[in-house]
């Protein structure tokens, strides 16, 4: 692991130690966030799977009933029966913050002149299979909106998990080891400089002692 390009002094060592503390704290927080996102994501995926299976089953039943109705009714009668719908839906899209991820929240309102009667046709010239198809479609609409909301939430959570995972890996395998290696390098450099200074001081001390000894010897020796 390459060390950072910094001057090996005590000030840089202090800065790097502080950066290392922050990096480790950030790494822990990001790991906790990733784990929590994964738990939420798995719950959403489970819910998404159940909703999809239910919606697909209901849609298959609705299509099957519609095909039977189309087989026993003329195309003109069928088209006239479905030409003017009796209900409409207004959809409001809001957002919710989920672990710093903005996910959609769908709210819908049904607008109808007669809430108890969803069929835009009379029953005299139509098949009961068409009634069943319409009834299933009316009941599956809220589930389809919930499924769309769930799938978009899962997609956004997956993107955030991937982004958080990359950040965790960058801290765990690049930045933190690089800081630790640089701190070790600067510490070794400072210790090496310290040993060099001690060695020089000992040599200076020995030289001074030697000079002092020689001076004393000269003072003791009488001049001729």
Per-residue confidence (pLDDT) for residue 26, from 0 to 100: 95
Per-residue confidence (pLDDT) for residue 178, from 0 to 100: 93
* Six-digit token string for 135: 């009834």
Residues 41-51 have a mean pLDDT of 95
Domain assignment of residue 39, given as a range: 22-177
Per-residue confidence (pLDDT) for residue 223, from 0 to 100: 52
* Percent of the chain's residues with pLDDT above 90: 46
Residues 157-182 have a mean pLDDT of 94
Cβ–Cβ < 8 Å for 183, 20:
yes
In angstroms, the CA 33 to CA 30 distance is 5
Cβ–Cβ < 8 Å for 58, 136:
yes
**46 lies in some domain:** yes
Q: Structurally, how many domains does the chain consist of?
A: 1
Mean of all residue pLDDT scores within the chain: 86
| 144 pLDDT higher than 80 | yes
pLDDT band at 214 (very low <50, low <70, confident <90, very high): low
Instruction: Say which CATH number the domain at 36 has.
Output: 1.10.287.3240
Choice among 27-36, 72-81, 103-112, 209-218 with the minimum mean pLDDT: 209-218
Cβ–Cβ < 8 Å for 85, 119:
no
How do residues 52-77 score in pLDDT, each as one tens digit? 999 999 999 999 998 988 888 888 88
- Contacts of residue 3, defined as CB under 8 A and 6 or more positions apart, other chains included, come to 178, 181, 182, 185
User: Torsion angle of alpha carbons 74, 75, 80, 82, nearest 10°?
Assistant: 110
| 79 pLDDT higher than 90 | no
**9 lies in some domain:** no
- Contacts of residue 113, defined as CB under 8 A and 6 or more positions apart, other chains included, come to 86
Q: SS3 of 115, please?
A: coil
Q: With residue 39 as reference, give the H or E element that holds it.
A: helix 10-72
Cβ–Cβ < 8 Å for 83, 67:
no
Query: What is the number of other CB atoms lying within 10 angstroms of the CB of residue 138?
Result: 14
Residues 30-37 have a mean pLDDT of 95
| 51 pLDDT higher than 80 | yes
Rounded to 5°, the CA angle 104-108-112 comes to: 165
Residues 20-41 have a mean pLDDT of 95
């Amino acid at each position: 692991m390459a060390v950072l390009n910094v001057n090996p002094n005590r000030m840089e060592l202090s800065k790097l130690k502080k950066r290392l503390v922050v990096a480790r704290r950030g790494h822990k927080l990001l790991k906790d966030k990733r784990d929590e996102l994964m738990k939420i994501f798995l719950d959403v995926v489970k819910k998404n799977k159940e909703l999809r299976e239910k919606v697909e089953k209901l849609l298959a039943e609705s299509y099957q009933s519609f095909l039977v109705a189309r087989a026993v009714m003329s195309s003109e009668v069928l088209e006239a029966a479905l030409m003017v719908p009796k209900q409409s839906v207004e959809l409001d899209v809001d957002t919710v913050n989920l672990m710093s991820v903005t996910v959609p929240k769908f709210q819908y309102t049904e607008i109808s002149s007669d809430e108890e009667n969803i069929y835009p046709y009379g029953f005299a010239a139509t098949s009961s299979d068409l009634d069943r198809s319409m009834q299933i479609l009316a009941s599956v609409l809220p589930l389809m909106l919930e499924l769309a909301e769930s799938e978009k939430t899962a997609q956004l959570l997956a993107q955030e998990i991937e982004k958080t995972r990359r950040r965790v890996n960058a801290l765990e395998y690049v930045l933190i080891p690089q800081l630790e290696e640089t701190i070790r390098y600067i510490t070794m450099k400072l210790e090496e400089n310290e040993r060099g200074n001690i060695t020089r001081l000992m040599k200076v001390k020995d030289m001074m002692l030697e000079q002092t000894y020689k001076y004393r010897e000269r003072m003791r020796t009488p001049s001729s």
